[in-house]
Amino acid sequence: MSLDDADAVVDAELVEESELEPARAASARFLVDQHTVLRPGQPIPTTDDPVQQYTERDLYVSAETSAALDEAEDEGSAPRRTAMNGFETWCASVGRVANPCTTATFTEYAAHLMRRQLKVSTIKNYMSLIRTSMEPGKQPDSSQYLVLLAQYRSKNKRAVRRKEAFPITMPYLVPMMEKAEADDRPIGWRDAAMLAFGYRFLGRSVEDVDLDIEDLTITDTQVSVWLAEDKTHKDEDQTIPLHDRSDLKLVFRMRRWLNYLAEHGITTGPVFREVLKSGKVASSETRAKKATKRGDHLRPQTVNVRVKKWFYAAGLKTDGRPVSSHSLRAGGATDLGENGATEEQLENAGRWAKGSPIPRKVYVRPAKDREHDPFGKVPMYGAEA
């Protein structure tokens, strides 16, 4: 190396690698955002990369898929339909667009629900269902309605009070079933089976009425239920054994009802169905004029109506708490909680989510509190002592 060469090396200027490719830096931009993830050695995508060309075939779904999507969107969930029906009716009455709605419309509807003095939990549930019914990217902002809701909560203390359903425990359930069976009619057989099953299954009413005959296996000592999924077990099927007992007569009542269905040629499909005044089992054909989206399945609201009917027909009274279809689930859980069931046993029996506070807070702890009343240690005063 010559002296001149050595001087040339010493005088050389270090440059950034990116400056070695000025042409690329000027013409291409990186296509990345905060969610971009690259593997080691994978080049950063730029605007110079070839663009994928799509044709019409890549943009359309088939007529069959389109029909299936329409059906799924039309059915939705019962609570979602209820919330959206109320919202759409209100929007029509005040001349507002319901879907997609503006944030102002969304906020004003929340104020409307508050003026109706609904419970905070009910309002939050409705507003969540309405918001998530809108297309992604077109959902209204919740922040302003939540400000109103916080104020509503602070000024209406009763609006946060939740009334638990009156628990239909065994002393209430047996008279109800016997009353339903008193006239020895098919609708009474169905209702007695529905009451016994609802209590023992500890199910939500929609789970009860969604069951098909094929989901049940009945032996002399139990009814086994195959459940595709439930509220807390999505995409997780379960087989649940319901052991019978002499006061419940679950096997007898379920068999009597299913035998009646079989006599009418019904051995598949919904377990609990509408029964006409004539005693015949209704079908989509016999009631075409008032057919519902649920087809031959009973609506959950029907269970609610029948539970109330037989409760009061049996001459029973509550302690002020409302009677509803949920009273069957609450009754079974209460009987378990008051007779030594652990939190884990209740959790499993009612299929609550792991770690749910409901079994402990609503059933186990109240039972223990009643059993161990601290004032029981205080001696009686005077003559009553």
* Environment class of 218 (CB within 10 Å of its CB; exposed 0-12, middle 13-18, buried 19+): middle
Query: Which is higher by pLDDT, 219 or 359?
Result: 219
* Nearest partner of 224 among 235, 210, 238, judged by Cα: 238
Which three-class secondary structure state does DSSP give residue 44?
coil
Q: Average pLDDT of the chain?
A: 85
- How many residues are recorded in the chain? 385
Q: Note the pLDDT tens digit of each residue in 50-109.
A: 877 788 888 899 999 988 887 776 666 767 888 999 999 999 999 999 999 999 999 999
How far is residue 186 from each of residues 87, 239, 285, measured CA to CA in Å? 39, 28, 20
- What is the distance between the alpha carbons of residues 350 and 341, in angstroms, rounded to a whole number? 12
What kind of fold does domain 170-368 have according to CATH? Answer: hpI Integrase; Chain A (1.10.443)
Query: Which is higher by pLDDT, 163 or 315?
Result: 315
- What is the distance between the alpha carbons of residues 8 and 298, in angstroms, rounded to a whole number? 92
Which three-class secondary structure state does DSSP give residue 68?
helix
Which three-class secondary structure state does DSSP give residue 238?
strand
Query: Token digits for 223?
Result: 């009814």
* Nearest partner of 158 among 126, 117, 115, 109, judged by Cα: 117
pLDDT at 132 over 80: yes
pLDDT at 162 over 70: no
> For residues 239 and 224, is the Cβ–Cβ distance under 8 A?
yes
Q: Note the pLDDT tens digit of each residue in 179-209.
A: 999 999 999 999 999 999 999 999 888 889 9
pLDDT for the residue 294: 67
pLDDT at 258 over 90: yes
Highest mean pLDDT among 96-105, 158-167, 358-367: 96-105
Q: Average pLDDT, stretch 255-276? A: 94
Alpha-carbon radius of gyration of the chain? 32
Query: Which is higher by pLDDT, 121 or 314?
Result: 314
pLDDT for the residue 285: 60
pLDDT for the residue 324: 92
**Structural element, H or E, at residue 218:** strand 216-218
pLDDT at 369 over 70: yes
Q: How confident is the model at residue 14 (pLDDT cuts 50, 70, 90)?
A: very low
Residue-range domain boundaries for the chain:
75-160, 170-368
pLDDT for the residue 284: 60
pLDDT for the residue 93: 97
Contacts (Cβ under 8 Å, ≥6 apart) of 189: 181, 253, 256, 257, 260
> For residues 117 and 159, is the Cβ–Cβ distance under 8 A?
yes
Q: Interhelix angle for 170-181 vs 326-337, to 10°?
A: 140
> For residues 332 and 348, is the Cβ–Cβ distance under 8 A?
no
Query: Token digits for 207?
Result: 């789970």
Percent of the chain, pLDDT > 70?
Answer: 85
Query: Token digits for 176?
Result: 């109800």
Percent of the chain, pLDDT > 90?
Answer: 49
